[in-house]
Structure 1
Amino acid sequence: MKKLRPIIWLAAACAFLTAPACTAVPPADKTEAPTTLTISENEIQVPAAGIENKTLTISAPSRPLVSGVPDWITWQDGVFDKYKSTCTVSVAPNTAYKSREAEITVTAGALSKTVRISQAAAQRPAPGPDPDPATENAQQLAERLGLGWNMGNQFDGYYNGSWAGAKEGYPDECVWQPGEGDEYKATQDTFDGVRAAGFTSVRIPVSWLKMIGPAPNYKIDNTWMERIYEVVGYAHTAGLNVIINTHHDENHGADNTYQWLDIKNAAKNSKLNETIKAEITAVWTQIAERFKDCGGWLIMEGFNELNDGGWGWSEEFKADPTKQCNILNEWNQVFVDAVRATGGKNATRWLAVPTYAANPEYTTYLTLPADPAGKTILAVHFYDPSDYTIGEKQYTDWGHTGAAGKKASWGNEDHVRQVFGKLKTNYLDKGIPVYLGEFGCSMRKRSESRAWSFYKYYMEYVVKAAKTYGLPCFLWDNGAAGAGQEQHGYIHHGTGACIGNAREVIDVMYKAWNNSDASYTLQSVYDNAPSY
């Protein structure tokens, strides 16, 4: 038997090797690697509402890598199998009134392709119903204007000083902004950003100066007028109320003639006063005619802070305040008469007139102009105490919890209540609206917790007091970023984005004006003042 085993084994092996082909195991499936990178879609159009889980198929010789995905797009890689990958793309809703685009790069080794995703802008709501000043009372106007914002050092800026050369006396949109390039030019985005931040109104200070031609016509430069009109339109499109004025046309003792609103010398020279009144009539007639088609959302403010340069402290003014204040009363009347004479919507438009130096303490000398429409607003400014808000001392503290030596010697909370209370009693309660055309405080450093806490407290208290007493208030914003004297930058004047730590302060002010919870009062703000 042992001798037969090799023969049997050999026979079995031969039988196996000669088995029919249909019983063989098929070879493994092999896909040939592509030599190119392909994507099922290279251009994707997305509605403002966004999309979820859109499928893209990528074919590549190696696993593809993706870069350049912004935070509003979610890109989910799929399994890479047989040189293919199926990915999903989701795009968040676009709430901005501006389209956006992203270019996403897909690479596989040395190969590269781009996927461009374009998303439509959000649908901008139409501005609300046009307010009718003829049927609006002081309280309703205050509620409509609400918390406002100044586009300061923008259209009121002008070339001044020895560096100006031949441009001296000419207004320029960006000359007082941090950069003179297009980066700081006002855009629709600017006012969309202002509205999104929580403001409901804007004051656009305007200097006219050498943009005004010679007597007797005093023709305003058309390009300058049209640019102001364009920017006012941006603000209205964003759903904001708007105030425009004459700003640095007033002469505070400067040795020039282009700052033509010279109250000091007009009080001494009746002929000069008549010349200035003729120019006021000509200038405001032109402005009123150009903006005649604008609805009740536009307010015209005759002047800014008219004074002789002493802000009420000059010896000449103190000797007899009535001399200059009576001139201001005359000018306010000329302004109202000029605008009303143009008719149309200007016949009942709200018009604002200031006190001397826009100081609420000088209402004593103010005579409101005779207005056939009865639609005159009192405009004042509030920067008390100036040693804390805008002066060189830049104290760290303010209010009843502030420490002696670290705060101004006057201007605590009781002063705020006293000033605002008088305005309410003497004007609002008599049906005459009042607004704070400017208020604010130089920005403090957030890293210095004590100064930052008191700064926020001041802003909250003033706005809450303004709301309590029915005074719409307009934050002064000169575009200057950072902290320190005259640093009042909150919103970038070109982009509408918040600057630095400004968002935190804006939120405090927004709360102060808009929070109507019964437990949140002026007293509760006072009770929660910083304590160190």
Structure 2
Amino acid sequence: MVSLTGKIRVSFLAALLAVAASVYGATNAASADTAAQSSASQIVADMGAGWNLGNQLEATTNGYPSETAWGQPVVTQALIDKVRSAGFKTIRIPVSYLGAIGPGPNYTINPSWLNRIQEVVNYAYNRGLHVLINMHGDGYKNVNGSWLICDSASQTTIKAKYQKAWQQIANKFKNYDQRLILESMNEEFDGQYGRPTQPCYSNINSYNQIFVDTVRKTGGNNASRWLLIAGWNTNIDYTAGNYGFTLPSDQYRSSSVPANERRIMISVHHYAPWDFAGEESGTITQWGRAATDPSKKSTWGQEDYLDAQLKMMYDAFATKGYPVVVGEYGSIDKSSFDSSNNRYRADFARAVTATAKKYGAATIYWDNGATARYGFGLFDRRSLTVTQPGIISAIMSGVAGAGLPSAA
């Protein structure tokens, strides 16, 4: 809104008109912001509860993607139907490309691999689910054949390869409707935990810009598709804070999308506190305000921390019309150490989804297919049975806005 201070004209009528114009402009600006947030709210609502098909299409062997390499069976329509029947509305499909990408300058992706990706996408898409696909393991230094390395000296080659790869992926899916979401990368960083470094973060920003521009230019529904991008290691602090993350421009977006709306989403992951959620140890097995044994509960990362983290994302992005997606969250099974562990895993899942609901974010549970000690699995992918009904129930109640667990 333009201030009228120092701009009063000698004519009272002119001043009145100026005020009227000012108020009209402010109203339009507020309406634009509201519409942008409404668009973001709608996609989050439509996505509902999300589930990751982990350790499958991103699994690798000898530098090549191989969906059964990490001990899981071939993905089937029956598995996806089981996940859908449990109440999940979104499936994230992590994908690695690695040696399936040929040499430059064309960097052709093996057609059989692209076709298999499409086949698995269709298992979910044809059932009416939202589907996310990404470039998952190509940026991990500990994966044989990785190449999307942000602190490599070969950035010209890396960016050319990245652009060509996404051009092919985008063309493969350009006719799918808005239930398909493309995600630029996964947990991209220099491999050193701690504050982001430069020029690595600048390169990550460049990858996101290449991704957005490349997908948009393929046309079709890609011109208006929701695109999911990530900051440093999908870390909330390093994405929402002042550490170097920049939003890409979206200059090639379809003109059919209202100018005040967004079509870019922000991806983060939440596994805090790590000693509860991911550390392979039987020491910390309880979480949250209902924990009964302080010695088994972490000293940080409880409900207040979770709330502050998601509020940070809300303030930085959701208020500006950019939906936030917690693309991974969850906690490993430590029930062999503490028989009550699955109760706290359920509490954690409910808290993440309920807090995300509070701040307008979507959530996608990380399931790696493992259902024994230290596994994240909710389903046995061989027998097609539910292994953690309590956690699934907690997820659904959180997404429905049923609130956080109460103290014991």
TM-score above 0.5, yes or no: yes
Q: Is the 8 A contact 1:170 1:211 kept in 2?
A: yes
Q: Which among 239, 249, 270 is matched to residue 128 of structure 2? A: 239
The residue that corresponds to 1:224 in the other structure is 113
The residue that corresponds to 2:332 in the other structure is 442
Q: Is the 8 A contact 1:446 1:452 kept in 2?
A: no
Total equivalences in the alignment: 359
The residue that corresponds to 1:209 in the other structure is 98
The residue that corresponds to 2:363 in the other structure is 473
Match status 1:368 vs 2:247? yes
Match status 1:482 vs 2:384? no
- Residues 152 and 222 of structure 1, relative CA distance in 2, 3 Å threshold: same
Equivalent-residue separation in structure 2 for 1:401 and 1:491 (angstroms): 26
Q: Which among 53, 57, 60 is matched to residue 158 of structure 1? A: 60
The residue that corresponds to 1:169 in the other structure is 63
The residue that corresponds to 2:156 in the other structure is 274
Q: Is the 8 A contact 1:378 1:435 kept in 2?
A: yes
Q: Which among 293, 297, 308 is matched to residue 190 of structure 2? A: 308
Equivalent-residue separation in structure 2 for 1:135 and 1:419 (angstroms): 20
Q: Is the 8 A contact 2:37 2:320 kept in 1?
A: no
- Residues 264 and 337 of structure 1, relative CA distance in 2, 3 Å threshold: same
**362-371 vs 389-398, which deviates more?**
389-398
Which amino acid is the alignment partner of residue 281 of structure 2?
A: K
> Taking every aligned residue pair, what percent have the same amino acid on both sides?
36
Q: Is the 8 A contact 1:169 1:209 kept in 2?
A: yes
The residue that corresponds to 1:141 in the other structure is 43
Match status 1:336 vs 2:223? no
TM-score by length of 1: 0.65
- Residues 495 and 204 of structure 1, relative CA distance in 2, 3 Å threshold: farther
Match status 1:352 vs 2:242? no
Which amino acid is the alignment partner of residue 170 of structure 2?
A: A
Equivalent-residue separation in structure 2 for 1:135 and 1:288 (angstroms): 26
Q: Which among 424, 431, 434 is matched to residue 321 of structure 2? A: 431
Equivalent-residue separation in structure 1 for 2:343 and 2:173 (angstroms): 42
Q: Which among 227, 251, 276 is matched to residue 388 of structure 1? A: 276
Map 1:276-295 onto structure 2 (within 5 A): 276-295=158-177
Map Cα deviations across residues 360-407 of structure 1 (whole Å, 9 max, x no partner): 111132101001334111011110111110013341221235343312
Which amino acid is the alignment partner of residue 140 of structure 1?
A: Q
Which structure 1 segments of 5+ residues have no match?
Answer: 1-133, 160-167, 179-183
Equivalent-residue separation in structure 1 for 2:213 and 2:53 (angstroms): 27
Map Cα deviations across residues 411-447 of structure 1 (whole Å, 9 max, x no partner): 0110000001111111111111110110000024289
Which structure 2 segments of 5+ residues have no match?
Answer: 1-35, 254-261
Map Cα deviations across residues 317-337 of structure 1 (whole Å, 9 max, x no partner): x4x624211110011001111
Equivalent-residue separation in structure 1 for 2:71 and 2:38 (angstroms): 37
Equivalent-residue separation in structure 2 for 1:135 and 1:416 (angstroms): 22
Equivalent-residue separation in structure 2 for 1:326 and 1:247 (angstroms): 19
Equivalent-residue separation in structure 2 for 1:397 and 1:309 (angstroms): 29
Map Cα deviations across residues 37-62 of structure 1 (whole Å, 9 max, x no partner): xxxxxxxxxxxxxxxxxxxxxxxxxx
The residue that corresponds to 1:186 in the other structure is 75
> Which is strand-richer, 1 or 2?
1
Larger Rg: 1
Q: Is the 8 A contact 2:91 2:131 kept in 1?
A: yes
Please give the root-mean-square deviation of Cα atoms over the aligned residues, in Å: 2.0
Partner SS, residue 137 of structure 1: helix
Deviation at 1:521, TM superposition (A): 3.0
The residue that corresponds to 2:394 in the other structure is 508
Q: Is the 8 A contact 1:190 1:495 kept in 2?
A: no
- Residues 136 and 223 of structure 1, relative CA distance in 2, 3 Å threshold: farther
Partner SS, residue 92 of structure 2: strand
Deviation at 1:462, TM superposition (A): 1.5
Which amino acid is the alignment partner of residue 247 of structure 2?
A: L
Which amino acid is the alignment partner of residue 47 of structure 2?
A: L
Match status 1:379 vs 2:267? yes
Q: Which among 286, 292, 300 is matched to residue 410 of structure 1? A: 300
- Residues 496 and 143 of structure 1, relative CA distance in 2, 3 Å threshold: farther
Q: Is the 8 A contact 2:333 2:341 kept in 1?
A: no
TM-score by length of 2: 0.84
Q: Is the 8 A contact 1:186 1:494 kept in 2?
A: no
The residue that corresponds to 1:252 in the other structure is 141
- Residues 157 and 386 of structure 1, relative CA distance in 2, 3 Å threshold: same
Deviation at 1:239, TM superposition (A): 1.8
Deviation at 1:448, TM superposition (A): 4.1
